Structure 1
Amino acid sequence: MSDESLADRIERWMVGQMPIIQMHGGTSVVREANEETGEVVVELGGTCSGCGISNVTADNIRRDLIMDFEEVTDVHVKVPASGDQGASTVEGGRGGDLRYETESANHF
């Protein structure tokens, strides 16, 4: 096992496995990675807000993290409610109010 934290390993994985997020103007950050409970919270932002396939991206992240990290048992993906940008928005200019995704394709 590496001395690197679970959050750092997942951040590195996100960059390597999900480059399409950045290629399309989106952002991602690991907000929580609890090594004891296996719960991971990932936040998507930028152009992921309002994107028609962001539900597919969220499903892929959820599935792949559980498959690739044996200690990960539960993954939540958060996405801004709107594409607003600017200093008054969520950290990093992600914009909008954060909401947990649901299983519905209309969750954004």
Structure 2
Amino acid sequence: MNDLAERVEEWMVGQMPIIQNHGGTSVVREADAETGVVVVELGGTCSGCGISNITAQNIKRDLIMDFDEVDDVQVKVPSTGDTGSSTVEGGRGGDLQFSNESADHF
């Protein structure tokens, strides 16, 4: 993993308490300092969540503000609700821990 990808992963870990509190997961799919492109994928209960678009916009804005070399951020939110291992890398996520709250709770 390159330096930018590692730094973006660390940044996302800092965001995870908010995302995980709602049963979501995230993974950095791409972070290229030369092109300035970062691709983040949200999973878990982010899929189909009514506020995932707000979360995505906040991630985009904050990554561009916090990292000088980042010019373009793409946040992907699968609509399938798939929570397979490919969407929970980096030790964040894994099997979803269900609570008494519904996935629509925020």
TM-score by length of 1: 0.73
Query: How much has 1:24 moved relative to structure 2?
Result: 1.1
Partner of 2:68: 70
Q: Secondary structure at the match of 2:77?
A: strand
Name the % identity.
74
Q: Decide which of 76, 86, 89 is 1:91's aligned counterpart.
A: 86
CA RMSD of aligned residues (A): 1.8
Partner of 1:35: 33
Report the residue type matching 1:55 in the other structure: N
Partner of 2:80: 82
Partner of 2:97: none
Q: Distance in 1 between matches of 2:60 and 2:82?
A: 25
Count, aligned residues:
87
TM-score by length of 2: 0.75
Extract unaligned runs of 5+ from structure 2. Answer: 89-106
